[in-house]
Structure 1
Amino acid sequence: MPTPTPDDTWSSVADDWGRYWGAFARPVWEPLLRAARIGTGARVLDVGCGTGELLEHLQALGAWPSGVDPASRMVELARARAVGADVRAGDFEHLPFDDGAFDALLAVNAFQFAEDQERALAEAGRVLAPGGVVGLAGWAERARNDLDVINSALAAVDDEQPPEDGPLRVEGGLADALRGAGWDVLDDGVVPVPWTARRDTDLVRGILFGEDASTIADLAPVVRQAAAPFRRPDGSYRLMNAFRWAVARRPER
């Protein structure tokens, strides 16, 4: 999967991102929102909101969601999906919202992209009201993710190894990062997160989105071969993965 890139690159792949990955992390939403006690009327900021699937879900729950994303096309798509939500361009370290504006801040598959995680958590604390909570979620370690089989095969084409697991991906990593910044961790855990592709073309497009046509043509056989163990009788694919999550209360100022 692509590494985080500047706004123009993420914007150029935003439509494919939404098509293949926008709702991928849905299984982690329920434990995250339950631990954060998000319900009707809650003011929630979704950092790294992408194409707006979580914003739309929060609206359905009766919450008052806002979103922020560094890619302009992601912002545009999120606004179209979650009509009425306040979605702005910005990054985790410079949130374009007032002090104490939210009861909860969520960052699903986003916190690990912050260049300065200490500042990102300080910004989270700034925009939360007293007693507010932050909920973080992201990929678990490679061994828990079937997608690593494909990523490893693609890396081998260039005689490379996939990146090692970062500290946030291992057990307790998110909670440790929050505690280290002075937050009171309320709960954490890990959930299974499947990714499905209806057919070969969706599998290849979903894995290689953002690559040019020539690269896709060259790497498509590698992707299909690596994914063969996960192919189902109807021609679709199901790869099991895992996300870790943690929820913490805002530290006292």
Structure 2
Amino acid sequence: MPSTSPDDPWSSVADDWGSYWGSFARPVWEPLLATAAIGPGTRVLDVGCGTGELLEHLQELGARPSGVDPASRMVELARARAVGAEVRPGDFEQLPFDDGAFDALLAVNALQFAGDQERALAEAHRVLAPDGVVGLAGWAERARNDLDAINVALATADDEDPPEDSPLRVEGGLTDLLRSAGWEVLDDGVVPVPWTARHDTDLVRGILFGEDASTIAELAPVVVAAAAPFRRPDGGYRLVNAFRWAVARQ
């Protein structure tokens, strides 16, 4: 596995991220793909494709997916999962594809990482064919997410203020950004997105992936205590969260 670097921080945690979070956003795929009318033959670009779960799903539907991700290890894992899909390293603000190359562009849990979101949407416009559509999805406001109880507990343990909602997480955030950039919003909504862990070990590893061993040992009791309300009789955990989504036409 590649070592962590300032220019590629996600590569060192890509394997763990794929194990615990790779398919997490699956519930939001259905409204995105249905509203975007993605089906057999549709040329789709998955921006921030991660470890390739959505790419693989698109292949199963008969679409023609390509992917892009800034982390080299994510690209490697996505290529291995979605065999035959073209997956390139790159950023949302500078997509490494030709003008008009796609019928649809999807970005699930990705737009918030773009340093310049307006430029990212301009790049989406550039790589889409006429009448192409963009589908965006990401975390809803923290009040809708059971995982926020753990995030607040960890912030408190670090003597930090609880995290605040970013503009894209609140109602109207995605749609307002799209409309201000000149896109016609076709539909939007909120979808419940559960995250499960089989036992305490999975819970801690899933939440604290990327931390060193001493930090994990220190914070594991904080995570377990905060997740206690979501513990199931079998010892596993189920935390219900929410993603906002929107689909728009250029």
TM-score of the superposed pair, with normalisation by structure 1? 0.96
Q: Name the aligned partner's letter for residue 80 of structure 2.
A: A
- The Cα of 1:158 is off from its aligned counterpart by 1.5
Q: Which stretches in structure 2 are left out of the alignment for 5+ residues?
A: none
Contact 2:68 2:91 in 1 (8 A): yes
For residues 44-76 of structure 1, what are the alpha-carbon distances to aligned partners after superposition, in whole Å with 9 as ceiling and x for unaligned? Answer: 000000000000000000000000000000000
Percent identity for Structure 1 against Structure 2: 86
Contact 1:67 1:86 in 2 (8 A): yes
Contact 2:47 2:67 in 1 (8 A): yes
Match of 2:118 in 1: 118
Q: Name the aligned partner's letter for residue 76 of structure 2.
A: E
Q: Name the aligned partner's letter for residue 131 of structure 1.
A: D
Q: Which stretches in structure 1 are left out of the alignment for 5+ residues?
A: none
**Deviating 4+ runs (over 6 angstroms):** none
For residues 115-162 of structure 1, what are the alpha-carbon distances to aligned partners after superposition, in whole Å with 9 as ceiling and x for unaligned? Answer: 000100000000000000000000000000000000000000122123
Matched ranges for 1:1-253 at <5 A: 6-250=6-250
TM-score of the superposed pair, with normalisation by structure 2? 0.97
SS in 2 for 1:8: coil
User: How many residue pairs end up in the alignment?
Assistant: 246
Q: Name the aligned partner's letter for residue 144 of structure 1.
A: R
Q: Name the aligned partner's letter for residue 51 of structure 2.
A: T
The whole-number CA distance in structure 2 between the counterparts of 1:194 and 1:75 is: 26
- The Cα of 1:8 is off from its aligned counterpart by 3.3
Aligned CA-pair RMSD: 0.8
Contact 2:191 2:242 in 1 (8 A): yes
SS in 2 for 1:168: helix
The whole-number CA distance in structure 2 between the counterparts of 1:218 and 1:26 is: 32
The whole-number CA distance in structure 2 between the counterparts of 1:8 and 1:218 is: 26
